[in-house]
Amino acid sequence: MQLHSIAENILKTYCENFDGSPIIVRSPGRVNIIGEHTDYNEGFVLPAAIDKATYVAVGKSRNNNCTLISINYNEVFEVSLSAALAPVKDWPTYILGVVDQLIKRGYRLHGFNLVIQGDVPIGAGLSSSASVECATVFALNELFQLHIPALELIDIAQKAEHTFAGVMCGVMDQFISILGKKDHVIKLDCRSMEYEYEPLQLKGIKIVLLNTNVKHSLASTAYNKRRNECSEGVELVKKKMPRINSLRDITPQMLQQYVEPIDKNIYQRCRYVVEENIRLLEACDALKNGDLLSLGQKMYATHDGLSKEYEVSCKELDFLVDHVRSLPQVLGARMMGGGFGGCTINLVKEEFVEELIISTGNVYTQYIGKELTAYIASTEDGASLVHY
Ligand code: GLA
């Protein structure tokens, strides 16, 4: 079997630097069709794993020391497992966060060597960080034969993001990176963690990602702020209705009655989330019925909510969505992921894809002064061992 060029590359680097044959794991990035900023509010999401992924090669070292090599960053990081781990800057923190979680949960590890490389664009809203965490936890689970079930792998990766990267993310990105399935989206209920695979039948339509090339590294603070604003909304309703525990339990009427009179800003944030959950359920029906026009309209509505009510968009994302909105060949578009930069996701008629990429790239550079990068996303399976 032909090895993916990244797998081949990390294998070569591993063998040049360490003894023995490593385990190789790939864990993908994701798109999300609809359902944004709903996951940490116990709502629904509709992501799919894509053909861009992080790859790691890992093997045991002879002692408690770990050597981590990043090919993307051309850096080496050394750490010993004999002392407590702490967050560090940049890429090693995602790996250390996973190791820290494993140790705190009582899993017995010893030193290992790891080479990492990926092609998920960083800071583009495609879950590059989750793919690093998931590749790491999947690989260490195999290497040390820890027998951790999938849902716990997901939880470990998510908590690594909370504790070491400092982003209080929901569960969507890590979930899809581990459990994604080619040609399918997952409809995940982030409250019960029940999920269904739905076939992604797009009949002549491509998923095109347009990258603003605005990296959203600053997003973490505003991201966490939005999360807190949602909790404040829940608290306001809870004062009147003590059994309410999340925005999932809250209707637009409850918000109007108990939140709007007290805090307009919080009301606006919460209304977006409550409406997005309703929109997602309708979008799922549209997808099942092959009604992609209706699905596309819902994506535009999501963008408007994220931009005007939830306020996690930016001028570059708004420009890209506004630019395609009147084109009949583009069925739907919206900003995707945490926001403040990254990509828009567009449903585009196949025969128009090339023209769209060229013409949008030109106007984007003319008006925004930045380069536009485009990817045509295809779906892939979640985390897996790479056999060689
Ligand atoms: C980021 C987070 C996810 C989710 C999205 C917004 O990707 O990691 O948990 O909250 O933003 O939908």
DSSP code per residue over 182-245: TTEEEEEETTT--EEEEE---TTEEEEEEE-----TTHHHHHHHHHHHHHHHHHHHHHH-TT--
- 40 in contact with ligand 1, CB cutoff 6 A: yes
Full-model pTM: 0.97
Please give the mean pLDDT across all residues of the chain.
96
Name the percent of the chain in helix, strand, coil, to the closest 5. 45, 20, 35
Instruction: In whole angstroms, give the CA distance from residue 86 to residue 83.
Output: 9
Instruction: In whole angstroms, give the CA distance from residue 54 to residue 33.
Output: 21
pLDDT of residue 230: 98
For atom 1 of ligand 1, the residue with the nearest CA is: 338
Which active-site residues does the annotation give?
173
- 338 in contact with ligand 1, CB cutoff 6 A: yes
Inform me whether the pLDDT recorded for 217 exceeds 70. no
Q: Where in the chain is the domain with CATH 3.30.70.890?
A: 205-377
pLDDT band, residue 39 (cuts 50/70/90):
very high
- Dist. CA 81 → ligand 1 center (Å): 30
Instruction: Select 5-201+380-385's CATH number: 3.30.230.10, 1.10.3720.10, 3.40.50.80, 3.40.50.2300.
Output: 3.30.230.10
Instruction: Select 205-377's CATH number: 3.30.70.890, 1.10.600.10, 1.10.630.10, 3.40.50.300.
Output: 3.30.70.890
- 309 in contact with ligand 1, CB cutoff 6 A: no
Inform me whether the pLDDT recorded for 218 exceeds 60. no
Inform me whether the pLDDT recorded for 27 exceeds 80. yes
Q: Where in the chain is the domain with CATH 3.30.230.10?
A: 5-201+380-385
Is residue 310 within 8 Å of residue 269, measured between CB atoms?
A: yes
73-82 mean pLDDT: 97
pLDDT of residue 255: 98
pLDDT of residue 142: 98
99-110 mean pLDDT: 97
5-22 mean pLDDT: 98
